[in-house]
Structure 1
Amino acid sequence: MAGSLAYFNNFLSKQPALSSFGVMVRKEVGDHIRSWRFIVMLLLILFTFAGTMYVSLSNLGQVARNFNDPDHDFIYLKLLTTSDNSLPTFHIFISFLGPLLGIALGFDAINAEKNNGTLVRLLAQPVYRDSLLLAKCYAALLIVGTLFLSLVLLMIGAGLILTGVPMEATELYRILTFVVLSVLYVGFWLSLSICLSVAFRHAATSAITAIGIWLFFTVFYQIIVNMIVRAILPDPASLQAEQVIAYNNLLLSFLRVAPSQLYTDAATTLLMPSVRSLGPLTMEQMAGAIPTPLPFKESLMIVWPQVTGLVAASTVCFAGAYYMFMRREIRT
């Protein structure tokens, strides 16, 4: 940390035209990419990406010949959604590994600086508190966005070389939107971990708390919701068709409190154009429907509530971190 402060002071004195925010972002990016925890997470994501791409490419010919699938023409989307049940698809892996990446990048953003005694020295420079907090969040999101975009470009390049099929514009729009969605999903866990790093003094406490929240929403939340709904509401087997649909919609509404459910719903709709609804439909609603892929704009309208939910949750967590950090008294 002392070396980072020396670099900060030296660089700021040599680059008067560069703002303190830009210097801090550059410093945070350098610290992240040189840290062992980011290298481990990077290797883990690369291995899972390589495994899912190998499985997808191995089964791509069979999927392309399946004319019963309305999405069989979208070759590049199939690279992200095809699996032979030996490995989950890539967006399922991201729903599991994305929170760990966000937590790893933010659980000690503030308390590590304070415990090492560098926070006071850093704020003694011509640096605002909000600039420090924004720089830590922006640098982590910049790394995550670059990582996901690089993986997607590698996937597109490999698909173009192996298949020779040109990419359609709607596939490019959907894949880039999927990248933005993945960054937003990781950004929520990053904001939560930064908020916990401000709230707790020790980095270990903030890391354990963030991992506990992730485990709760990933493992236990669905079990608890199912138990509560079954205890309060009648058995679905005894309900009529309209009541069963209302029952399932209520259950889905509770499950969508979990960020992983919001991300999975949105990613599935974007990568599978034939998905027309994220909830149960009646026979009247399905009457006359043609099983064809939806335009990109209509798929985006379906997932807009999920996207705004992730953005709102991230904003609330970051606002909490901002409020606590701006009101905290920092002493040597």
Structure 2
Amino acid sequence: MNNLTASFKGLFSKTTGIASDPLSILINKEVGAHIRSWRFIVLILLVVLTFLASTYVSSANLRSAINNAQDPDQAFLYLKLLTNTDNSVPAFHVFLNFLAPLLGIALGFDAINSERNGGTLTRLMAQPIYRDNLLIAKFLGPLIIVGTLLSALILFLIGGGLIATGVRMEPQELLRIVGFVILSVIYIGFWLSLSILLSIRFKQAATSALTAIGIWLFFTVFFPIVINLLVHALLPNPNYLSEAQLIKYNELILNLLRLSPGQLYTDATTTLLIPSVRSLGPVSMEQMIGAIPSPLGVKDSLLIVWPQLSGLIAATVVCFALSYYIFMRKEIRS
């Protein structure tokens, strides 16, 4: 009987690939460890509370936004639930621009150095698993949790809006909201890969956490100040420029600001959630003549945000590739 049970388990592991796959086992381990931690519970509560606060304010002002005949986006009810605000509480995508880096940093700043300091890294490497499996699991595990959380919040938003209003969701709205969720996961993935890189580079978790928070504060607070100082010091006064020169002046400032991941995320989410946004740069008077304020299609909006999306993906891939290179060459001792 025992031999029959063992044979059945072996056959099940071969057919499903679950029990014999080290990567899936490590991912399940990471997901379970994060779900049980108080740190993740606190972060979940922050994201949920900000989501409820922003959607409550947007739903309270939803009727006035829909009845605004001058708004070209008045027909997109579910997008209004994510973007409409009375300036007392920011919209959810603005909140997420602030919380997403903290979420990614908190889930990855001690991914490797905590295993090393706790003595469990040598035990893991003693098992028949590859180093890259461990690193991929440290990256994919938190992303699975974040993607599930954002998807659950969006489903809650759609279900609540359907029950409260009875208005069905348009396919264009669904595609835009799905794109917003994917973009948010990629943005969190960048900060997660950066924090994992710092956790490999530094031995102490406090050092990697402070370094990641310092990088986030630099891009959030100090980077726009540095760009403004450099522009005012090196470029001529914009009051003495022609219209064409002023457009190039503003384009240069925007391109420099887009070196920040937060600016890329803001541009992309604004374009996806507000269909009437037709350009992310300065527009001349000749280009505005004859333009009718109307929402763009999903394809056109994706073409506008493709540079921002590719920039976030490239930054995430670079950070993860550096983490992979350093971790594969790093000597692990007990």
TM over 0.5: yes
Give the equivalent residue in structure 2 for 1:174: 176
Q: TM-score, normalised by structure 2?
A: 0.94
Give the equivalent residue in structure 2 for 1:196: 198
CA RMSD of aligned residues (A): 1.3
Give 5+ residue unaligned stretches, structure 2.
1-8
Give the equivalent residue in structure 2 for 1:236: 238
* Displacement of 1:190: 0.2
Distance (Å, rounded) in 1 between the aligned partners of 2:13 and 2:113:
28
Give the equivalent residue in structure 2 for 1:327: 329
User: Which of 81, 86, 90 is residue 88 of structure 2 equivalent to?
Assistant: 86
* Displacement of 1:101: 0.2
Give the equivalent residue in structure 2 for 1:261: 263
Give the equivalent residue in structure 2 for 1:316: 318
SS in 2 for 1:288: coil
Q: TM-score, normalised by structure 1?
A: 0.95
1:234 is aligned with what amino acid? P
Distance (Å, rounded) in 2 between the aligned partners of 1:216 and 1:44:
23
Give the equivalent residue in structure 2 for 1:161: 163
* Displacement of 1:286: 1.5
User: Which of 278, 300, 319 is residue 298 of structure 1 equivalent to?
Assistant: 300
Give the equivalent residue in structure 2 for 1:129: 131
Deviation per residue, 1:298-326 (Å, 9 max, x gap): 00000000000000000000001000000
User: Which of 18, 23, 31 is residue 25 of structure 2 equivalent to?
Assistant: 23
**Are 1:53 and 2:55 an aligned pair?**
yes
Distance (Å, rounded) in 2 between the aligned partners of 1:328 and 1:182:
31
Give the equivalent residue in structure 2 for 1:99: 101
Distance (Å, rounded) in 1 between the aligned partners of 2:86 and 2:293:
23
* Displacement of 1:240: 1.0
SS in 2 for 1:172: helix
1:218 is aligned with what amino acid? T
Deviation per residue, 1:271-321 (Å, 9 max, x gap): 000000000011111222111100000000000000000000000000010
Deviation per residue, 1:173-232 (Å, 9 max, x gap): 000000000000000000000000000011110000000000000011001101110110
Deviation per residue, 1:227-254 (Å, 9 max, x gap): 1101100111111111111100000000
User: Which of 38, 61, 76 is residue 74 of structure 1 equivalent to?
Assistant: 76
Give the equivalent residue in structure 2 for 1:276: 278
Deviation per residue, 1:32-71 (Å, 9 max, x gap): 0111111111000111000001001000000000010000
1:265 is aligned with what amino acid? D
Deviation per residue, 1:76-121 (Å, 9 max, x gap): 0000000000011000000000000000100000000000010011
SS in 2 for 1:322: helix
* Displacement of 1:152: 0.6
Distance (Å, rounded) in 1 between the aligned partners of 2:90 and 2:211:
27
1:323 is aligned with what amino acid? Y
Distance (Å, rounded) in 1 between the aligned partners of 2:61 and 2:119:
54
Distance (Å, rounded) in 1 between the aligned partners of 2:271 and 2:228:
24
* Displacement of 1:15: 5.5
Distance (Å, rounded) in 2 between the aligned partners of 1:71 and 1:196:
42
Distance (Å, rounded) in 2 between the aligned partners of 1:40 and 1:212:
21
Distance (Å, rounded) in 2 between the aligned partners of 1:127 and 1:67:
61
Give the equivalent residue in structure 1 for 2:147: 145
1:315 is aligned with what amino acid? V
Deviation per residue, 1:152-177 (Å, 9 max, x gap): 11111111111111100000000000
SS in 1 for 2:302: helix
2:291 is aligned with what amino acid? A
Question: Quick one: percent identity of the two aligned structures?
Answer: 61
